[in-house]
Amino acid sequence: MLGVVTKRSAAEDGKQTMSNGPVGRTSTEPVVKSGRGAKTIEVSGVNLFYGDFHAVEDVSMTIAPNKVTALIGSSGCGKTTFLRSLNRMHELTPGARVAGHVSLDGEDIYGKGVDPVEVRRLIGMVFQQPNPFPTMSIYDNVAAGLNLNSRRVPKSQRDAVVERSLRGAHLWEEVKDRLDKPGSGLSGGQQQRLCIARAIAVEPEVLLMDEPCSALDPVATLAIEDLIAELKSRYTIVIVTHNMQQAARASDVTAFFNLDETGKPGHLIEVGATDQMFTNPSQQATEDYVSGRFG
């Protein structure tokens, strides 16, 4: 158990671990052991707006823990917007509004008195463009979550978190000799893995990924997909992707978003197990999309 989870009481920790049940946490590879566990996200009746523009209409779905849920659909159908509403990043855009409920293991993240900052600590995010902090070294980038969250962590423990996170992101071997070098000196794929390491260093319960591979070459993409497959044993993962092969390869559950026409809000067409979605979807629109007939 990691000592950084100082904010939560031991009792709480125990309860959570128990309620998680057998979540396939492999003890053979103690990469990023979390005091918390993957959690279920329950979305009901979510509508998202940018000013007067209705971007996403009436989405309800359950995102299961320890599974990779892929959000697919054509550009502009609100996948990314929806993803950003899951950790309250959507509301950072001026004029953006959210209606509906999103709950994390039963706790409404849009509830009264809920601090969005606290929500984002539990629900991490990896962005489309790798965005390591340019003023910080590799080490500081990974430790950024700890430093920025003003948790007082002793040096030795911070070292441990950095190493574990970098190992968890399959980056340790490549950077262990140059931890003090700037993160921006790494290749695109390495930078993205650095960003994943940074996200898992704060031990979130959910990891949101917004097209994490779209700026990467196929080799780097494969490395990230392998990483995702491994990370799902510890986190709930939601990934937005434009790449249908990627959704088919890397996800357990697929949700298909679509919009009737430009200017109309995007909505959820259907959600189901990935193999079923790609072989025998229940909606015609899904079949057309996954078979490449449009989009």
Partner 1 sequence: MESAAQSPVLARRSSLLEGGTDWRRRAVNRLMTVLIAGAFALAMIPLISLVYEVTKRGIPGLSLEFFTSDARGVVGEGGGAAHAIVGTLVITLVASVISVPIGIMAAIYLNEYGKGRLRQALTFFVDVMTGIPSIVAGLFAYALFELFLGPGIRLGVMGSVALSVLMTPIVIRSAEEVLKIVPNHLREAAYALGTPKWKTIVKVVLPTAFAGLITGVMIAIARIVGETAPLLVTTGVVDSMNSDPFNGRMQNLAVYAYNEYRSPGVFKQAAYDKAWAAALTLIAIVMLLNVAARLVYRHYRTEIR
Type of residue found at 170: H
| Closest CB to partner 1 among residues 34, 286 | 34
Burial class (CB in 10 A: 0-12, 13-18, 19+), 184: middle
Residue 74 Cβ vs partner 1, minimum distance, rounded to whole Å: 23
**Burial letters 128-164, b for 16+ CB under 10 A, else e:** bebbbbeebbbbbbbbbbbeeeebebeeeebeebbbb
Minimal distance, residue 122 CB to partner 1, in Å: 8
User: Toward partner 1, which CB reaches closer, 58 or 91?
Assistant: 91
Residue ranges that bind partner 1, judged by CB under 8 A: 87, 89, 92, 94, 117-122, 124-125, 127, 129, 131-135, 144-145, 147-150, 184, 195, 198-199, 202
Q: Least distance (Å) from partner 1 to the CB of residue 105?
A: 17
Maximal C-alpha separation, the chain: 56
d(CA 16, CA 45): 27
Nearer to partner 1 by Cβ, of 209 and 290: the residue is 209
Sole residue written with tokens 């497959």:
229
The answer to whether 254 and 247 have CB atoms below 8 angstroms apart is: yes
Give the containing element (helix H, strand E) for 71.
strand 68-73
